[in-house]
Homo-oligomer: A and B are copies of this chain.
Amino acid sequence: MRKNLRFILVIFDYIMKVKVYVTLKPGVLDPQGKAIHHSAELLGFEKIADIRQGKYFEIALAENTSEAEAKETAEKIAKDVLANPVIEDYRVEIVN
């Protein structure tokens, strides 16, 4: 039993997590954010100047991925799959 527990802890150690934040570039119109702003105002929230919506992804990488590899893979996925670089910015953050 104790052996199993140690085995599980070791596996957990090797799973690398990456967080990717995708936001619209400044200046790009955000109708969804405007709609949320309007809804919030109708519900009585008056202190809001602006709301902008973005996307957020949590990527779990395969075991034994090094930090450098994780960063590289995540940057590539963010650029190729998750964000549209013409109108969006992205930010990658490694968690381990």
Copy total for this chain: 2
Q: Contact: A57 with B36, CB < 8 Å?
A: yes
Q: Contact: B57 with A54, CB < 8 Å?
A: yes
Q: Contact: B49 with A81, CB < 8 Å?
A: no
Q: Contact: A47 with B62, CB < 8 Å?
A: yes
Q: Contact: B81 with A61, CB < 8 Å?
A: no
Kindly supply a per-residue 1/0 record for chain A positions 62-82, scoring 1 wherever the CB is within 8 Å of any chain B CB and 0 otherwise: 110100010001001100111
| Given pairs A23-B58, A40-B81, A56-B56, 9 additional interface contacts (CB within 8 A) | A23-B56, A39-B81, A40-B77, A43-B80, A47-B62, A47-B65, A48-B59, A49-B63, A55-B56
Q: Which residues of A contact B (CB under 8 A)?
A: 15, 21-23, 33, 36, 39-40, 43, 45-63, 65, 69, 73, 76-77, 80-82
